[in-house]
Amino acid sequence: MLFKLFSSFFTSVESSPHIVALPDIPLWRNCPSVFRNYKCFFPPATDSNNPRVPTYVHERLLSVISILPLFCERGDLMAVNFHSPEGLFDTSHNLFHLYNAYSIPNGHTRSVSPVDLFPQHDFPTLVLGDLNIHHSASYPTRLLSGYDQFIRSPYFDRASGQLFSLLNTPGVYTRFPFTSNHRLAVLDLSFANPALLPYFSSWNPSLRPTGSDHTALSIILSTLLLKPPPRGLNWKFMDWDHISPLLNDLILAAPPALPTPNSLHLWFDNSLAKITHLITSNTPTKCPSSYSKP
């Protein structure tokens, strides 16, 4: 995963990510790779655990804020505290917490528990990881087995209970297996707690290939001053003469022949999303103020 952080310390946007979390990468002599301009933090190797969650921080970030890695005496989970007395996203928050996890499958369990992954913090917290679970929130078109539901329920229940929000775009794959006997999947998940959510800008998987079967993900956080509010739709200038034929020609999928509550809900959401997108994409937006030029 690639994670870009923009804070009040930076006056320009760089193309290089400020923080890079890499779950389950190849090791050499129990150490992850070294990259220029980045400091690597990773759990110490033991006889029973290899460091699976290295986290890289750009040297520019190291020069302006304090960073404290937390290793939890395990190789599949680590946290990093970012602190600045002057504030990070704005002056109201001087602490930011990042979790990097690789949850190893072990039968009906995973190595990283939901309690460890989703703590209750009142400061901005981001959870990144390859959790090796499937859920309809991140992969709505996948038919989940009873086994899948048994595995994923504790994680999403815990995340929901702690008010974490999923940042993934639903249905966008994060794993593209090299073998034909495995299907595409959404395994790399990103969550933000309520304190971080106002600063979330985008989640984007469209980065160049890395050679891994997992795609690189870019998450951008920005200060509220750098993120302009979205423009509202100007319904007064909506051209119904143009939109009505488009609505008449819109083809929607037929409802399921033998509906279940889940399949009917999915069909309704997909149909509503298509209609809403057609209308909003053909409706002009309002100007930021009455003095703005159209």
Q: What is the pLDDT of residues 40-82, one digit of tens each?
A: 998 887 776 788 888 999 888 888 889 999 988 888 899 999 9
Q: Return d(Cα 32, Cα 47) in angstroms, integer.
A: 17
289 belongs to a structural domain: no
Answer yes or no: is pLDDT of 228 > 80: no
pLDDT at 12: 38
Count: domains in the chain: 2
Extended strands (E) in 164-266: 165-166, 188-192, 200-204, 218-221
Q: Which strands form 95-102's sheet, in the order they lie side by side?
A: 66-70, 77-83, 95-102, 125-130, 188-192, 165-166
In the structure encoding, which two tokens stand for residue 158, read together? 């815990």
pTM: 0.69
Residues 272 and 147 in one domain: no
Please check whether residue 209 lies inside any domain of the structure.
yes
Within this chain, do residues 147 and 274 fall inside the same structural domain, yes or no? Answer: no
Residue 211: count other Cβ atoms within 10 Å of its Cβ.
Answer: 4
Query: By C-alpha distance, which of 157, 53, 32, 59 is closest to 98?
Result: 53
Statement to judge: residues 216 and 239 lie in one domain: no
> pLDDT grade, residue 109 (50/70/90)?
confident
Q: Are residues 121 and 245 in the same domain?
A: no
117 closest CA partner among 216, 191, 208? 191
pLDDT of 168 higher than 80: yes
Q: Are residues 59 and 25 in the same domain?
A: yes
Give yes or no: residues 256 and 163 share one domain: no
Does residue 184 share a domain with residue 140? yes
Task: Report how far residue 125's alpha carbon sits from residue 115's, in angstroms, rounded to the nearest whole number.
Answer: 14
pLDDT digits (tens, 9 = 90+) for 3-51: 445 443 333 345 567 888 887 777 788 888 888 889 999 888 777 678 8
pLDDT at residue number 131: 84
Whether 130 and 201 map to the same domain: the answer is yes
80 and 102 both lie in a single domain: yes
CA 133/CA 152 separation, integer angstroms: 6
User: Per the domain annotation, does 215 fall within a domain?
Assistant: yes
CATH code at position 167: 3.60.10.10
Asked whether residue 286 is assigned to any structural domain, the reply reads: no
Give yes or no: residues 267 and 181 share one domain.
no
End residue of a domain, out of 221, 243, 262: 221
Domain containing 272: what range?
235-281
Q: Does 293 reside within a domain? A: no
CB 292 within 8 A of CB 249: no
Q: Is the separation of the CB atoms in 83 and 65 below 8 Å?
A: yes
Is 292 a member of any domain? no
Q: 97 pLDDT band (50/70/90 cuts)?
A: very high
Whether 132 and 258 map to the same domain: the answer is no
199 with 269, same domain: the answer is no
Task: In whole angstroms, give the CA distance from residue 166 to residue 127.
Answer: 10
pLDDT band at 218 (very low <50, low <70, confident <90, very high): confident
97 beta partners = 81, 125
